[in-house]
Amino acid sequence: MQIGLIGTGTMGTPIGGCLIDAGHRLAVFDIRPEATHALVGCGADRVDSPRMVAERSEVVFTSLPGPDQMEPVVLDAAAGVLAGLRPGGCYIDLTTNAPGVARRVGEACRAKGVAMLDAPVSGRPPGMTVMVGGDQAIFARHRSLFDAIARNVFYVGEAGAGCIAKLVTQYLGYTNFVAALEGLLIGAKAGVDPGILAQIVPFSAGASRTFDNIPRAVLTGAFTAGGTLDIVAKDLHLACDLARTVAAPANLGLLAHDILHRAQAQGWGQEGFPIAARILEAMAGHELRSQQGQGAAGYQSDDPRRAPQR
């Protein structure tokens, strides 16, 4: 099948590689041409606009930072995906997106005879998870494409449902991350080595894959893991917006987002999201560092089921 891929960054490049490995022909575009080099080296064709990608493709994927980037890439009248994708084609958005934006773009697609699926992802291909919203028959028709890039594929429901599922998982993960840092600071200030605590938590009620970033990224002082602070803050902001829209409580999310926003105000937006720990450390007057934590990090990273997530 002739596939288009727009956005060949940290996620898009390995996703494109999986599609090539599955035997598909790939046309790619990124606003940074150098970001396409790896896929071009694997046989993909680089083109000069989203429209040109769509003109050459039966199915177009986007893997972009957020709704502010995704919507114009699709809807731009001159150079967007819908300007080039033929009726009967399919557009699949892998972006962590706002449900309302996904639905609005989906309506524009339907008006032009194009199918759309919102399908945000978590983890890293080919072992990642994908959550799909849209028409179930369209999902079934394109299931093999999802199986090529992900181990866990879930059909969630109608348009926007994939985005909702992803925002829920982000809400759970990053509120847990902030709570875990606070817990470790409590223990550290009370006199227990946080590295020892980090070895205990994975075998306790506090276990989570998001917590696993702390030994490798915070206790070492590296602050590198998963997505950037800007991306994680965007995701949590979208999740809190969704909560307000449906009148659901999001008290923990608002508190966690405040910590992330304070870290962004320090100019750390392009750093790994664990750098937000420095805000809590400053509030506590105590740094979370431990040589013991490095052993815990090594143990967890050896288990592929506990790989860093975003």
CATH number of the domain bearing residue 79? 3.40.50.720
Q: What's the structural domain count of the chain?
A: 2
Query: Tokens for 307?
Result: 């790989």
CA dihedral 193, 199, 204, 208 (to 10 degrees): 110
**SS3 sequence of 99-116:** HHHHHHHHHHHHHCCCEE
Active site (annotated) includes residue 189: no
Q: How many CA atoms does the CB half-sphere of 70 hold within 13 Å?
A: 27
Task: Tell me the pLDDT of the chain (310 aa) as tens digits.
Answer: 999 999 999 999 999 999 999 999 999 999 999 999 999 999 999 999 999 999 999 999 999 999 999 999 999 999 999 999 999 999 999 999 999 999 999 999 999 999 999 999 999 999 999 999 999 999 999 999 999 999 999 999 999 999 999 999 999 999 999 999 999 999 999 999 999 999 999 999 999 988 989 999 999 999 997 789 999 999 999 999 999 999 999 999 999 999 999 999 999 999 999 999 999 999 999 999 998 745 444 433 333 333 444 5
Q: Are residues 147 and 170 in the same domain?
A: no
What stretch of H or E contains 129?
strand 128-133
Last residue within a domain, chosen from 131, 159, 187: 159
Catalytic residue among 112, 166, 189, 234: 166
Q: Are residues 98 and 212 in the same domain?
A: no
Helix and strand numbers, DSSP H then E, in the chain? 15, 9
Amino acid at 107: E
Q: Considering the entire predicted model, what is its pTM?
A: 0.92
Last residue within a domain, chosen from 117, 140, 159: 159
Q: Are residues 136 and 152 in the same domain?
A: yes
- d(CA 198, CA 296) in angstroms, rounded, equals 7
What stretch of H or E contains 117?
strand 115-118
- d(CA 62, CA 50) in angstroms, rounded, equals 9
